[in-house]
Amino acid sequence: MRSILRTVLISCCAALAGRAGTDGAAYLKIGDPAPAIASATWIKGTPVKAFEKGKLYAVEFWATWCAPCKENIPHLTELARAYKGKVTVIGMDIWEAQKAGSGDTLPKVKAFVKAQGPKMGYRVAADGSDGRIADAWMKAAGEGGIPCAFLVDREGRVAWIGHPSELEATLKEVLAGTYDVAGARTRRETELEITRPIGVAMAARKYAEAAKAIEAAVEKRPKLKYSLAYQHLVALYHADLERGIQVSKAILEESNHEQGAYHMMQAIFAVETDLSPEAYAFGKSLAKDLEARGLGNFMFTAMKAELYANSGDRKEALRFAEEAVAAAEKDPHATPANLALIRKNLAKHREGR
C-alpha cells in the first residue's frame, strides 16, 4: 500500500502544479528528437547547451516544492555516481512560478540546490519564467506529474518517459544495446490513447466526462487506478459528490486509513476553489476524522486553512493558518520551504485574500 500511496502523492504534485496537457497540435513521443534545453539557467555542474550525438542523457523534471521530487534526489545522485561517464544526469527545475505566483523564483531554486550540497550529485538547471522547457517536454508529452524523467539516447531521441525510480532498468537495456525504441513507443502510445481523453476533459473542466474517462481507463488498465485516484476524486467532487464520497471511503478503507490518503483528499479541498458547499462540508468531516485518529500535522493544518477559506469561512481559515505556522515552527521536520509557504499563506489570510 505504501507504493500505492506514493503514486497518489505524485498525482497531488501534478494537481498542485496545474495539470499538463497539449493543445492537440502535436505530442512529444518516444523516438522523437529531444526538445532543446538551451534556454535553461544552469545552477550546478557544466551546462549542457545541446545533446551531443553519441552520449546518453537522463533529464528529470522536478520542483523545490514537490515532496516526491525531493525524496528522489538520493536516487538520482546514486544513479549519476553508478553510471558516471556513461550517462549525464540533469535535474531540470520547472513550475516554480505556478506555486510562488509572480516574481523571480531562481534565487529560491539556487538556495535549495546549494543547501543540498553533495547530496545533489548531478547537474542542475532551471526553466525560465515563461515555462518554455516545461511546455516543450512535459506538456508536449502529456505529462502532468513530477518527478518525471526522460532518457535521451545517443541519437538525440527521446528513448523513454516515466518515473525516475524506473529509469535504471531502461538505462541498462540502452547501454546493453537491447532496448527496443519502436516497441516502447507503441506501448506508450497505447497507454496514452487510454489516458489522453482524461487530460483533455480535466483541462476543459468537463468533470462528468473526465470521471467517465477515468473509469473507462481503469477498466482497461486496472493498474491505473491509483495513479488516477487524485484526478478521479477531483472530477467526482465536482460532478457527482455522492459517488465521490463513496470512492473516498473505499480508498480510506483500502489504505487502512493511512495519513497519505487523507492528505490527498485534503489537498483537493485546499486547491479546488469552485466546489459546492456540500463538498466542502465533506472535506471538513474528513479533517475531523483524521484529527480523531491522531494523524494531523502542520501541513494538514495548513491545508485545512485553505479548505475553510475556499468554503467562505475566513475567520476559521485565519485561525488554522496561525495554528499551522505555530506547529511548523516547533516541528523539526518542517523545512525552510515549508515554513516559507505556510507563512506566506498566513499573510494572505491576514490580508483577507
CB 129 within 8 A of CB 105: yes
Per-residue buried b or exposed e for 41-78, using 16+ beta carbons within 10 Å of the residue's own CB:
eebbbeebeebeeeebbbbbbbbbbbbbbbebbeebbe
Which among 164, 170, 198, 197 has a CA at the least distance from the CA of 184? 170
Determine the pLDDT at residue 23: 45
Place of cell 518542517: 334
50-64, 111-125, 132-146, 189-203: range with lowest mean pLDDT: 189-203
> How remote is the C-alpha of 249 from its chain's centroid?
23
Task: Name the average pLDDT for the chain.
Answer: 88
Of residues 128 and 275, more confidently modeled: 275
Residue bearing the bigger pLDDT, 25 or 173? 173
pLDDT band at 102 (very low <50, low <70, confident <90, very high): very low
Q: How far apart are CA 227 and CA 170, in angstroms?
A: 21
Provide the pLDDT for residue 11. Answer: 46
CA-closest candidate to residue 250, choices 232, 235, 272: 232
Q: Tell me the CA distances in angstroms from 74 to 10, 161, 346, 349, one per residue in order.
A: 17, 20, 32, 36
> pLDDT higher for 15 or 82?
82
Residue 194: CB atoms within 10 A of its CB come to 16
Q: Are the CB atoms for 109 and 42 separated by under 8 Å? A: no
Look at 63-72, 131-140, 284-293 and tell me which has the smallest mean pLDDT: 63-72
Res 301 pLDDT > 50: yes
Residue 35: helix, strand or coil by DSSP?
coil
Q: For 229, phi and psi rounded to 5 degrees?
A: -60, -45
Summarised one tens digit per residue, pLDDT across range 220-251 is 888 888 888 999 999 999 999 999 999 999 99
Give 173's DSSP letter.
H
- The pLDDT of residue 13 is 52
pLDDT (tens digit per residue) in 126-152: 998 889 999 999 999 988 789 999 999
Give the DSSP letter string of 308-335: HHHTT-HHHHHHHHHHHHHHHHH-TT--
3-state secondary structure at position 125: strand
Confidence tier at 103 by pLDDT (50, 70, 90) = low
Cα 67 to the center of its chain, rounded Å? 9
Which region, left, alpha or beta, applies to residue 254 given φ > 0 means left and ψ of -120 to 50 means alpha? Answer: alpha
Instruction: Give the chain's domains with CATH numbers.
Output: 2-179 (3.40.30.10), 190-350 (1.25.40)
Q: Give the pLDDT confidence score for residue 17 in this predicted structure.
A: 45
When pLDDT is cut at 50, 70 and 90, the band that residue 99 belongs to is: low
Give yes or no for a contact between 341 and 303, defined as CB atoms under 8 angstroms apart: no
182 burial (CB, 10 Å; 0-12 / 13-18 / 19+) is exposed
- The rounded Cα 168 to chain-centroid distance in angstroms is 20
CA distance 259 to 291: 10
Cell of 176: 546493453
Q: For the whole prediction, is pTM greater than 0.85?
A: no
